[in-house]
Amino acid sequence: MNFNNDKQVLAPFFWVEHDGGSASLCLDVGEYKQELFDIRSEEGFEGNGYDWNSLALVFLEEKMPDLKDLVNFDSEAGMFCAYSSDKKALEKFAISFKNTCEDESIVTDLFSRAELD
């Protein structure tokens, strides 16, 4: 998919192409879905990149286990980052994960099983 033609599909996530054919799905954390992480702030969740990573891992495990070995993560405090050398797999993950994040009940349920990194 050429996300350059339709970046809004993933916004506020963004797609980054890398030399060598791999790609990343990134998110500058701190605003999007912050209220989700605030629900568990007493447990230490802040909504940082590591917390998004925890949510994405539960999502992959439960919703897209076939992509578990293809999508990797390299998140930091201020940014969530998923990457893969298989752009089609990352694209499937990206669209499905974004759609799931937009569904309040599903994302809240998934997040209830996320573990603090």
Provide the whole-model pTM: 0.93
b/e burial code for range 1-12 (CB count within 10 A of at least 16 → b): eebeeeeeebee
| pLDDT (0 to 100) of residue 102 | 97
Give the model confidence (pLDDT) of 20-55 as tens digits.
999 999 999 999 999 999 999 999 999 999 999 999
The enclosing H or E element of 25 equals strand 23-28
Q: Specify the number of domains making up the chain.
A: 1
In a domain, 65, yes or no: yes
Q: Which helix (H) or strand (E) holds 50?
A: helix 49-63
The predicted pLDDT at position 8 comes to 78
Q: Is residue 91 part of a domain?
A: yes
Q: Is residue 70 part of a domain?
A: yes
Q: Is pLDDT of 1 > 50?
A: no
Structural domain including 56 reads: 11-111
Q: List for the chain the helix, strand, coil content (%; round to 5).
A: 45, 15, 40
Residue 90 identity (one-letter amino acid): L
